[in-house]
Each structure stands twice: as C-alpha cells, then as structure tokens.
Chains A and B, each alone.
Chain A
C-alpha cells in the first residue's frame, strides 16, 4: 500500500474529457513516481475543486469527494466522474488550468492473482474506474465484463480494453445485468479470480455468485466518505462475523469472504455525491 503525503495537495487540472455520460478528469501529480506516493490499482483519493467548492443555494459541496484513481499516464492522474450531485457537478465543470485539492493515494488496493488464474474484471457504472488501472498493471490477459444503465453510459467501456457490455435497457450488448455475464463466464472457467467495483446491488450480486462457486473475489466498495483516512468512522460496511469495516482504511478493496451481504445503504454517505 502506497503511503500518502500528509495533507492535501493543490494539483493542476490538465483536462476534463467527455466520455459518453461520464467525464475523465485529468490532473498533474508531480509526486507520482517520487516520494513513494504512486497509486496502486484500487486506491483512491479525496478530491475537491480549489475554487467555488460550496456556496450556492444549498451551501454544498462541503466535503471532498472520494474517487478511485482510474488511470496513471506519466505524472497524470485520471478520475472518472458522473454528475450526480453538487460535488460531482462542480468537478465535471473543471477545466485545464483549474486547481484541484487532492489527498491521497489512500486505502488498500487490489492484490494481483496469486497464481496463474485468469482475472475477471467486473464493473458497473462509474465503478469501472479502478478496473482500468488494474487492467493496465496486470501482466496476463483479462476478461472484462461491464454493466451500464444505457447507451451513453456504456461509452465508458472505452476506458478498458476488450470489454463485454451489459445494459439495463438493452441498448448495447447483453440486455440485462452484468452479473448474468459473470455467472456464465464462471460456468466456462471455474478457476478465475474476480475483481469487481460498482454499486452496492451489483457488488452484492457478484459476492453471492462468487460465494456460491467458492470463487475468490476482491470487491472495491463505493462509499461516501468525510475524510478518507480513518478519522471519521463514517464509511463502514458490516464485517462478516460482526462489527464493521472502514471502507477507507480497511478497503476500499475488501476480500468478498470478509463481507456480509452488501446493503444498499452500507458505506453510504448521504449527499456526498
């Protein structure tokens, strides 16, 4: 796990490109490759616009937002955004030259497959982000299964190579859930290892399918957070056997065997979109 520099840093936005319904926000991070802060796949950062973060009728956003690091390109760090609230909307507005507060890289990332098992990457919606940097770093071929709500969101699949796509409305690829693609894939190859990230309902589907087949699975959980470094205890999910795990420091990548049923509200931070 990479250690994060202590304190938030002001980075410069180098671009913010449309990708269907999403945007890819790029920022120059001169610490990448130096000072031991190169992000590992699955790690995340707390990010906020340097200007106009807050204000407006709702006096929000106030807290920074947790985003997986989607890709590294040299010293450029990429984040995948979807406009779903005042924080993500403001981040979507950022343009080259704007300032971006970044705290990170944070959390525990994905572990590479222990043996020569095939890696099955399963993503849903904006949750496909950490799978892109994971695919970049895995040495062997991966199978990529991605689920989206509709055609414009399915354009996000371009972030990964060779993705099989499912859509809720059937506009692209398989008409149905990405977990149906996963079940079929595991029928063909029982020895795969699953890496997944997406909304709670999808992750719960992945967890249940993998548990049933005793397939190892690493799940990157989405959670609204106040701090991202273990201070607030706000982003918890129930731990199998009792108690809670903090998504920020015990995750965001958590072995599926450590998790109870993944509830829609687990890890939820209302209004931190």
Chain B
C-alpha cells in the first residue's frame, strides 16, 4: 500500500509526529531491531532551532484524563550540530530501515522552527543543501519575536512567513499547523497560498495543570519517603500541550476542516491509537497519518497500526 506524498513514494501511510520519537536514542536502546522493524514510512525529526536549546525546567509532564500534557520546550542541539552530528547517523539508520530488501531509504523529514522569517530562511538554506533531507516541516507554533503572537495562529502572518521562506528550498515544504487558533481552515488556506506543498495537523492543544494538593505529613523534603504538594502550576514551563486520545475527536474535526479547504496533501494526527483511528483521518481526506503519543506507550505502535491499515485495505479491496 505505497503512498505518493509530494513526489516521494512511501511504503505505507504511517509516519511519526515530530518530537515523539528520537530515532537515535531508540537505536541505542533497541539496537539493530529498530532498523529491522522500523515502524514509520518516513521519519520526522524533532524540532530543530538555529541555536541550541536546553528545554524547559522540569517538571515537563502531566498525565491528564486519557492524555498527556507536555512542556518540553524543544530541547535540541541547534542546526549546526544537527547537520554535522545527527544527519549522518540518521541517514545510516534510515538506509535499509524496515528490512525491505532493495527498498529506498526511509525518507527523513526535518522539522525546523524559527522566531522570524530571517531565522527560518537561514535554516531552510542549510537544509536545502543536504541530500539526507527529503522534506522540511515548519513548526509555526512559535511566538513571533516582534509581535509575540504565534506565527501559525494568524493567517495573515502565516501566509507572509511561508511566502518569504518558500523560495529558499526546492524540497517539499510542509507547514505544521497549530490547533490553537480561531479558524484552522483559514490558516491552512493561508499556508497553501504562501506556497506550502503539504500541511500537517494537529499540534498539541494548549493546556495546563496545577500541582497536587495532597496533605503533607512531613515538613518539606525531610522524610525518608518524600512527598510533594503545592497549589501552583505544575509544569516548569507554565503551560504545555495536550496530546493523546483526549484530543482525537478535535483532530478529526480539524483535519476534516482543513482537507475541505485546501488542495495540497495533509498529514493528519492526534490521538491515533489503532488502525481504525488512522482510517478515520484518511477517510476525511488525510494522505498520511502520524502516530505520536501512542509511540510513548509502545514504540512499535506505528508498525501495528500500519499493518492493521493494510489488512483493512486488503479486506475492503
């Protein structure tokens, strides 16, 4: 069940959501089995920024009803070290991944974020020069340095940024839309008008959690067994992004709203846990489906979902 996506042939329609699978760390944990059973038809890197980022102070996670709130803060080694250190290692891993004899390497999609069109242009120039990168995904869930507003939340600003950076690369350009906006369809149309080749959605929904208010039986930090409470925001970054099954219905509605407005292909994601959930997103017009938080629960989840989709297609056909 190969799929054509922006001129790239993929073995199946299941990829990963950016920031939900560190292939290089997973390689060290699972060894060669990761290459043999590589679950994704294309691999999307975590977000890379121009300068290195340490990420947000902990705590960074909160388990919410049927979901997860994260406030990771995009830790990454910066563009220069990503290109020098990670690209060769990723290319080596993705070459022959999936154990398909004679198959093309699993394509690498590099996700980048910048606080201005200038910063993004610098990053796109660097990515464009690298043959290991098959496509580029723009993370536009980033406050504009000048306005403080998320670039991706405002259609006018989004179209302007995409149009400015578009000429910097001839590789397919995917714009990852934020769901934290009044009209996601309008943002999708703006990205398409600006020159995007494809769209991906949904990113996480802005969310927050308060620290537990459990009664404390010991003074702070004094006991042998510890305890914690404070009626304050739990996450070190203040607010975070919600993912997991809790957002699946929102994702379905937003993906449907976007595919109704644009002609370019869409990568749909949000709470996919089963082949049926993936099928739903394809049925409302997505070309590919991304698995994100479910990979945290089982790193091989995407392989199971891809196999299930294949079985559904075979039965239907």
A, B bound: yes
In the complex the two chains form, what is the Cα distance from A148 to B245 in whole Å? Answer: 38
A153 cross-chain contacts in B, Cβ below 8 A: 225
Name B67's contact: one of A62, A101, A125 (CB within 8 Å).
Answer: A62
The chain B residue sitting closest to A35, CB to CB, is: B33
A236 within 8 Å of B by Cβ?
yes
Q: Is B262 part of the binding interface, using a Cβ–Cβ cutoff of 8 Å?
A: no
A95 to B225, CA, bound (A): 26
Question: With an 8 A cutoff between CB atoms, is A32 at the interface?
Answer: no
Interface string of A202-232 (1 = CB under 8 A from B): 1010000000000000000000111101111
CA distance in complex: A225, B59 (Å): 11
Q: In the assembled complex, how far is the CB of residue A30 from the closest CB belonging to chain B, in whole angstroms?
A: 17
B63 with A61: CB separation less than 8 A: yes
Q: Is the CB of B58 within 8 A of A63?
A: no
- Give the complex CA separation of A219 and B88 in angstroms: 34
With A5-B33, A8-B297, A249-B25 known as contacts, the answer to whether A268 contacts B64 (CB < 8 A) is: no
A–B Cβ pairs within 8 angstroms, 22 of them: A3-B31, A54-B66, A62-B65, A62-B67, A125-B224, A168-B224, A178-B224, A200-B221, A200-B226, A226-B68, A227-B297, A229-B26, A229-B299, A230-B29, A231-B299, A244-B75, A246-B25, A249-B28, A264-B228, A265-B236, A269-B62, A270-B212
Known: A8-B297, A168-B218, A270-B234. A234 touches B224 (CB 8 A): no
How many residues of B are counted as interface, with CB atoms below 8 angstroms from the partner's CB atoms?
56
* Contact B224–A63 (Cβ < 8 Å): no
B65/A58 in contact, CB under 8 A: yes
Within 8 A of B (CB), among A233-253: 233-237, 242-244, 246, 249
B70 within 8 A of A: yes
Structural contact, B298 and A8, CB atoms closer than 8 A: yes
Q: Which 6 A-B pairs have the closest CB atoms?
A: A199-B226, A230-B25, A7-B300, A147-B224, A59-B65, A125-B225
Q: How far is the CB of A172 from chain B (nearest CB, A)?
A: 11
Query: On chain A, which size bracket covers the interface?
Result: 35 or more
- Identify the B interface with A (CB < 8 A): 19-22, 25-26, 28-31, 33-34, 37, 54-55, 58-68, 70, 72, 75, 209, 211-212, 217-218, 220-226, 228, 234-236, 244-246, 293, 295-300, 303
A62-B244, A148-B224, A149-B225 in contact; A267/B297 too (CB < 8 A)?
no
| Interface of chain A, main secondary structure | loop
Chain B min CB distance to A169 (Å): 10
In the complex, A109 Cα to B263 Cα: how many Å? 52
Contact of B66 among A59, A147, A167, A246 (CB under 8 A): A59
Q: Is the CB of A103 within 8 A of B295?
A: no
> A226: which of B70, B218, B236, B246 is its contact (CB, 8 Å)?
B70
| A233 and B72 form a contact (CB under 8 A) | yes
Known A-B contacts A59-B66, A268-B58, A270-B59; A231 and B296 likewise in contact (beta carbons under 8 Å) = yes
Decide if B224 touches A227 in the complex (CB within 8 Å): no
Closest CB of chain B to A147's CB: distance in Å? 3
Q: Does A11 contact B (CB under 8 A)?
A: no
Given A6-B299, A269-B63, is A232 in contact with B20 using a C-beta cutoff of 8 Å? yes
Chain B residues, Cβ within 8 Å of A106:
29
Question: In chain A, what residue has the closest Cβ to B21?
Answer: A231
A contact residues around B209 at 8 Å (CB): 270-271
Does A8 lie within 8 Å of B300, measured CB to CB? yes
Least CB distance, A126 to chain B, in whole angstroms:
8
Judge if A132 is at the interface, Cβ distance under 8 Å. Answer: no
B133 to chain A, nearest CB (A): 21
B225, A249: Cβ atoms under 8 Å? no
Q: Distance in Å from the Cβ of B3 to the closest Cβ of chain A?
A: 23
Note all chain A residues with C-beta closer than 8 A to B220.
264
